Amino acid sequence: METIEIKTPEFKLELSPKVYDGPSPYNMILLARVESSSFSVSTEIDTGTLQFDEFKHQLIMMYNKLKGTAELTGNDHQKIIFEATRTGRIKIKGTLGRFLREEDYKVDFVVEVDQTDLSKSMSKIQKDY
């Protein structure tokens, strides 16, 4: 599976999948990194190959129709959501972090980008899909 990279002049999101061999080949960890201005976060999202494929499909449909959402939810309360707005912009929001028994470490983010800023990234996702 290929890495998804969404890159605009002010924002970067990378999702690098690692599929596990073993009893359940559908389990995967996404290495996630978000950068925006001077802010950045890196973490792992525990999800599945079917959920990741569905997210890519939703992302392609949302981008092509400029309406709807694409949502990736991990097994550990982490999520990334792309939402098309009526003004031709894409809102990218999410919650990333580590959720442990004793302590939670999380970062919530929201950024809005112009849909044309995603054209190069989306072309690669569509080609690899």
Could you read off the pLDDT of 93-107 as tens digits, one per residue?
A: 999 987 767 777 888
- Nearest Cα to Cα of residue 30 among 40, 13, 41, 16: 16
Could you read off the pLDDT of 40-96 as tens digits, one per residue?
A: 899 999 888 889 999 999 999 999 999 999 999 988 789 999 999 999 899 999 999
**Can you tell me which residue has the tokens 């569509």?**
126
- CATH homologous superfamily, domain 4-128: Transcriptional Coactivator Pc4; Chain A (2.30.31.10)
Sequence-separated (6 or more) residues with CB below 8 Å from residue 67 = 84
Rounded distance between C-alpha atoms, residue 55 and residue 123, angstroms: 16
Number of Cα atoms under 13 Å in the Cβ half of residue 11: 16
Rounded distance between C-alpha atoms, residue 60 and residue 77, angstroms: 24
The reported pTM is 0.88
